[in-house]
Structure formats: structure tokens, C-alpha cells
Amino acid sequence: MTQLTPQLRYLPSAQQQALWLENVSIQQLASQVATPFYCYSKAALLSNIHACKAAFEPENIHIHYAMKANSNLSLLRIIAEQGLGVDIVSIGEMRRALSAGFKAQDIVFSGVGKTTAELAEAVLAGVGQFNLESKEELAVLITIADKYQQLVSALIRVNPEVTVDTHKNITTGAKGNKFGVNFSDVLPMLETAEHSPFLKIKGLAMHIGSQIHTTQPYLDAIAKIQRLINELKIQGYLLTQLDLGGGFGIQYKDYQQLTRNTEQQEQQEQQEQQEQHYLAFSDFSNAIKSALAHWQGRISIEPGRSLMADIGVMVCEITYIKESRPTSFVVLNAAMNDLMRPALYQATHALIPVQSPSSSLQTKYDVVGPICESTDTFSKSASLPTDLAAGDLMCFLYTGAYCAVMSNSYNSRPIAAEVLVDDAQAHVIRQAITQDDLMAFEQPSALKLF
């Protein structure tokens, strides 16, 4: 048996080792659900939630799951049942959160471009916290709160302008990013809010980026924010809430790391520990606790990826092994519309065969999808088993976060189904959105305006 990710392992099947997620055979699933499809483990999700709660709740740090990472209703229901709050960035996400059982009071509404209509709906629903991203948004929210005479709690999201060592497309707290306000804008915003009997600014929020592997940027940002809070106190403004955002990084292991034998694995892990230490939730909570040792107010966080990424795989099939020079290709039936992270962020997801290869020989391939874009490339020069063949089932790993949620229908491709595995049971938790479904929205009668 080879354990790959928390609930994913190769188990001996009749002739070969085959992939199982919890007690469900991926092969059996693929005989019932058209590939590509996403597949998640309930046990892995619960284990991540429990680890997160164990690290943060004893420190009285409130967890709001950033549902942009994966907003499937069945997964949201599990998270709501575990007592977490939720962080949303659109009114669509709010409707999902409420329908999944989150209380409005436990919702944080983030996002740089909330519209008047979205803000009004969220105020009327009783959303517990609005993270304001500009003085312009503050003006709109005050108008709404005053109009409906509803008490509204808000935090101001600041841009702490810290350096974060992550992909440039996922830094959000560096100079010039569109998110948050400059520190110098906070005082005028507090002064403006004083005129509203209904809108109360209770604190500051930050979110400095995603896939962060050190605590230093959090410590830098917290130190800056604390200085600002002290200055504001001198001006007569007492802030009592801090929202530190998400961003806790996970380790996306590659095919080589996953398939080493035990001895090689131990050696490699030792080396990796020396080179890069992957942080656990407890590392982040300890850092936050020490940085905010004297803070009396409320602290909250908004993790997304760290709760979701390793709970899921995407199952697909090899359409062709295209032998060519100088590069040979594995052409999959999954594409960038199903899994956008490689095209968006040059991310690489380990790709493994559902049947464990019979030999350890490996060949280099570029792994691509069928879409007519050169960016429809999952990995360049990936080492994969030499005995792969057209028709083989394959799995992309770590596809629980920022994968299914980003899928689209480019090239008139269907939107993949999602499946949830719970021990030996499996349920389709989102049906595929087929080409017929998509075409149904384009019938001429539906387009007639006058």
C-alpha cells in the first residue's frame, strides 16, 4: 500500500495496485461518472477542519472559511456543521453560505468591488462583518445602513505593504495591489463613519496573499497594523477587531516525491526539512499568538486553500500518447477549462496513473489538454511512467482548492462533475454541466429583448 495524500492510496487490486480514495475505488467511480471529474474525501476535509480548529480555537482565534477556494454546497454544509464561519466575496457566495446553513452573523463579506445591490442584500440579510476596501465603498455602505436603519459592523482592510515570497499573481498585500486601503486613509474613513448612527467600524482586516510558507510576512504586517492601531487610539478611535485573512501554504508534492520508496522518502524528507520547513496550522497560530500577546480584542482568520487543497483529486483519461520530437506529449481529456491553475499561475499538480505502473521506468512528457491554446499545458517535461497508454485513467492531486470553482466552458466543453466520497460511499455533489445545458441558454427566443 502506498499512501499518497491523506485519504488517497494505492491498494492491491486483482493484477495491479490501484488508487482508492477512502474506501472507494477511483476506477469504479470512473465507470459511473464521465471523466474528467473532481472527487473529494469527506474524512480528509474533516481532518483538516479539526487540525485548524485545534490550532486556532484555543487561542480564541475565530475561523472563517474563505469559500472562494471551493464553494460546493455539500462541502459548505460539512464546514457549517463543524461550526466555522465563512468569508465571501460576492452575493452569489452569500446565497450559497446561507443555503448551506451558515448564520448571517458568521459571514464576513470581503472583496474590492462589492456593488450597491450586493451590499444592500447583504445588509438586509444581516451579514456580520463587512471588510471595506475603499472610502468609496464606505460611502455606499453608510447610505445603505442609514436607509434601512440597520446596524452594520465593518472592518477596514488595509494594505500593509509587506513582501511575500509567493507567485506574483497571488500577492495581495504589496505596494500597488488593488486590495485594501493605504494606512493614511484609515483615519479619514473613521471620521466619516462617525457621522452614521448605523455603521460601526470595529477594526482592521488584512489578507496578504496565498500559498505563504513563512510566518514572517504575517509578523511584519501585524507589527505595522498594531502601530497604526496605537496611533488611532491616540486620536480617540478604539479598534477592537483584527481579521488576519488567509494564505497559509500547503505542500503540493510532485510525482517523484509521492512515489519514492520508504527509504528514499525518509532521506528526501530529511533534506526537504533542512531546505524548506512546511508550516502547520499550529506554526501560524503560535506566531499570531506571540505577535498579539497583549491584544485584548477579537482575532479572526480566513483560510481557504489549507482546508481544501489536499482533500481532492481530478480524474481524467489519456486520449493520446503523442510521440514527437523534440517533445512527446501526454494529451489528456481534461483541459485548462477544467483545471486553470497551471495556466493562471504556472502551478503544477502531480499527475499519477490510477493503476500503479508495473515498472519504475520513466519518460519525459509535456502534459497537455485538447484546448486550442498553448497555455493549455499542465506540465512541461514531467517524468511519467513509460508504460502509459491511451485510455489510461489518471489523477491530478491537490485539486480541492481553486480548481473546480474556476472551471468554465471554453471551447464548448462541459463543466466537470464533482463527487464526494465518505468511507465506502460516493455521491455526485455537482452534476456535470453539459453542452446541451450550455446551449439551452443560447436559444434565440431567450435573447429577444424588444
Ligand X SMILES: Cc1ncc(COP(=O)(O)O)c(C=O)c1O
Point out the residues that are catalytic: 372
Which lies closer to ligand X via its Cβ, residue 30 or residue 66?
66
Contact positions toward ligand X, by CB under 6 A? 66, 68-69, 87, 110, 172, 207, 210, 245-248, 302-306
Dihedral sign from CA coordinates of 15, 17, 20, 23: positive
3-state secondary structure of 373: coil
- DSSP designation for 204: E
**Pairing between β-strand 129-132 and β-strand 329-332 as defined by DSSP bridges:** unpaired
- Separation between Cα atoms, residue 132 and residue 134, nearest integer Å: 6
Q: Are 423 and 22 in contact (CB under 8 A)?
A: yes
Least distance to ligand X from the beta carbon of 87, Å?
5
Helices (H), 309-427: 341-345
Which lies closer to ligand X via its Cβ, residue 17 or residue 300?
300
Which lies closer to ligand X via its Cβ, residue 209 or residue 357?
209
- Separation between Cα atoms, residue 315 and residue 416, nearest integer Å: 10
- Separation between Cα atoms, residue 333 and residue 255, nearest integer Å: 20
Nearest in space to 248 (alpha carbons), one of 48, 405, 38: 48
Which lies closer to ligand X via its Cβ, residue 87 or residue 137?
87
Least distance to ligand X from the beta carbon of 308, Å?
8
Least distance to ligand X from the beta carbon of 253, Å?
18
Q: From residue 54, give the alpha-carbon distance in Å to each of 48, 181, 281, 308, 372.
A: 10, 32, 9, 17, 46
Least distance to ligand X from the beta carbon of 179, Å?
7
CB atoms inside a 10 Å sphere around CB 361:
9
Which lies closer to ligand X via its Cβ, residue 406 or residue 438?
406
Least distance to ligand X from the beta carbon of 100, Å?
18
- Separation between Cα atoms, residue 157 and residue 144, nearest integer Å: 19
